Amino acid sequence: MTAVTPAPPSTAVAPAPAGAAPPNPPGRRSRLRTAAGFAFGAALLFAVAPLVLSDFRLALLAKYLCVAMVAVGIGIAWGRGGMLTLGQGVFFGLGGYAMAMHLKLADAGPGGMPDFMQLYGQLDELPLWWRPFASPWFALPATVLLPMAVAFGLGSLVFRRRVRGAYFAILSQALAAAMVILLIGQQGTTGGTNGLTDIKGFFGYDLDDPVNQRMVYFIIAGTLLALLALTRQLIHSRYGELLVAVRDGEERVRFLGYDPASVKLVAYVVAAGMAGLAGALFVPAVGIISPALIGIVPSIEFVIGVAVGGRATLLGPVLGAVAVAWARTALSERFPGTWTYLQGLLFVVVVAFLPGGLASLWALARRRDVGARPVRRGWLPAARRRAERTEVPAA
Amino acid sequence: MSERTERSEGRERMPDRHGTSGERLDGLSVRDVRVSFDGFTAVDGVSLEVPAGDIRFLIGPNGAGKTTLVDAITGLVRATGSVRFGAEELLGRPVHRISRLGIGRTFQTSTVFEELSVLQNLDIAAGARRSWATLARRRRGVPDEVAAALETIGLAGRAGHLAGTLAHGQKQWLEIGMLLVQDARLLLLDEPVAGMSHEERDATGALLETVSRDRTVVVIEHDMDFLRRFARSVTVLHAGRVLSEGTVAQVQADPRVQEVYLGHPVDAGSARTGREA
């Protein structure tokens, strides 16, 4: 077949697309660069941080890295899939509680009951739904699979009914609120507002021992790197391209013969699994899981970190989450009470002036070097414009 | 083509995910289709037959129900009646299932994925039948049907560009290219040349003639000059009903069409003034 269009002006070799659309397939150089990036990250996390930071700061970093894992998931669901999920705390909490329940039971010993149940004194024996968590073979997979199952159930209902945008965000937030209310209401078996606290051991290791704390940190750092590798594969796969297409034109994808609901569902379930894993590792790192750590406010804070870092990039959510969590600690230490305002301000500034997050600064700078590439507008308004165009094809 | 032969052919056809060359052509058969929104009847009992391989233009004043009819065919709005493509009844199926039967459409405004490259756009359009295992892997190289489509729509030199950076006309061609790799055997194009330059219109018309060799094409268009040059047959809709149908000459000579378009019957010569208001 011959080209029937007028010859396009002879542009030089097409440059690889930048930004949200990664070049495909990757050349050897980009693969090398990725390997170097991962090596650099691993060196930073495994060698530099433990050497430079005190035990106290390292434990804080472990906590931040757990938040970063949630952020990686939000980056997939929101940045790539367009699902603004304001309820990741639910999945974080499911993973956290599953792990904490197991550790509490392990602390109590065989046949024992967690301390708080004896304290409230209403229960003679362990509630039925606690029992499977005594086995690590149940509890450990459950930290990931339970959140994924809940996300699957919810997502199947919601995406097929084409709930999206603000409605989806509100729904997911309501879920976080409901989960907190449920946990507090069932104080006798969940620990109520206090949550599950005072966790002493982690599979036979004493968590008070700094050496073991360090081990927990290494597990967390390794898990984060593994999740990043998984995410990189996901966003560079055909599925990753399809997910961006669903984000930018759900109706159009439907007319291409795909069911966007299942495409979104996969991203949502993966994000939930990551949040669950993060919650599970948060428990040995911090020694507590409670409703205050998984409710609406922490759920929103997860999202703020992602927005600040750059939701549609691989590293943006991680760096944003760690930076925001670190700034929170640093500023709260010096100026208690001001952090909440600063956090709000930061969020407003980023959303208004830098919708691509801090990562887009890097992309902008790089593009200026290259010169030839057009500067992409912040993609939030662009996506909104597209949504207006595609969602209701005018009659 | 009689319904009987359409049916028997439909049974023979096996789903084939690659290319369309050598595949059987199907026609579109719309019977007594009605669409109402809250008591307003946008499409009021439309019946039309588009034979296989036709380039049918749907015209009519604003609000005639052209786009709504296409919406009904593609499953975007609920409708009563019957729409058959080949042997398959389309009404009542969800949008993505209808699409997989080989029905592709474009919209009045271009809806390419601007954040993805031209190549990625086409690759996604080609992949509705891919398994999850394939989706989980990276794309290596350019699939054959995508390469062919890039040539056909003249964007081979722009494969790596973000679709958002294309000119308006190129976006429309990319849309058509996406329908080609999607393996659409019925193309429903909603105002494909709106906003195009003369050269772009000519190229688009030639493209339509190329693709109609092994596909059936339905075009909604206001541009009378484009219609005269490329339509093989025309259906005029007015107030949700078929007003007239036939060749370009027949339709232009129809006094009812002149009345609808110009408010009063006139001779064919002055009706040929191009785009209606």
The domain spanning residue B257 has which CATH number? 3.40.50.300
Q: Would residue A346 count as lying in a domain?
A: no
Q: Which residue of A has its CA nearest to B67?
A: A395
Q: Helical H runs in A44-135? A: 49-52, 55-74, 88-108, 115-120
**Interchain contact B20–A (C-beta under 8 A):** no
Q: What is the mean pLDDT of residues B91-101?
A: 91
Q: Would residue A148 count as lying in a domain?
A: yes
Residue B113, domain extent: 26-271
Q: Positive or negative CA dihedral for B206, B248, B50, B65?
A: positive
Asked whether residue A388 carries a pLDDT value surpassing 80, the answer given is no
Given the DSSP bridges, would you call strands B88-89 and B80-85 parallel, antiparallel or unpaired? antiparallel
Q: Which residue of A has its CA nearest to B113?
A: A245
Are A282 and B154 spatial neighbours (Cβ–Cβ below 8 Å)? no
Write down the pLDDT at residue A28.
75
**Interchain contact B161–A (C-beta under 8 A):** yes
Q: Would residue B3 count as lying in a domain?
A: no
Q: Would residue A157 count as lying in a domain?
A: yes
Q: Would residue A175 count as lying in a domain?
A: yes
3-state SS assignment for residue A369: helix
CA distance A172 to A183: 17
Residue A58, domain extent: 37-296
Asked whether residue A25 carries a pLDDT value surpassing 60, the answer given is no
Model pLDDT for residues A188-204, shown as the tens digit of each residue = 889 889 999 989 889 98
Q: Helical H runs in B93-167? A: 95-100, 118-125, 132-135, 144-152
Number of domains in chain A: 1
Number of domains in chain B: 1
Q: How far is A232 from chain B (nearest CA, A)?
A: 11
A258/B96 CB distance under 8 A: yes
Write down the pLDDT at residue B224.
87
Write down the pLDDT at residue B263.
67
Q: Which of B114, B187, B212, B213 to mutate to test the interface with A (most CBs of A within 10 A)?
A: B114
Q: Would residue A334 count as lying in a domain?
A: no
pTM summary value? 0.82
Band the pLDDT of B273: cuts 50, 70, 90: very low
Q: Would residue A183 count as lying in a domain?
A: yes
Q: What is the mean pLDDT of residues B50-68?
A: 91
Helix (H) or strand (E) holding A310, with range, is none
Model pLDDT for residues A225-262, shown as the tens digit of each residue = 999 999 999 999 999 999 999 999 898 899 898 999 99
Q: Would residue B115 count as lying in a domain?
A: yes
Q: Would residue B96 count as lying in a domain?
A: yes
Q: How far is A389 from chain B (nearest CA, A)?
A: 7
Share of chain A above pLDDT 70, in %: 85
Q: Would residue A285 count as lying in a domain?
A: yes
Q: Would residue A242 count as lying in a domain?
A: yes
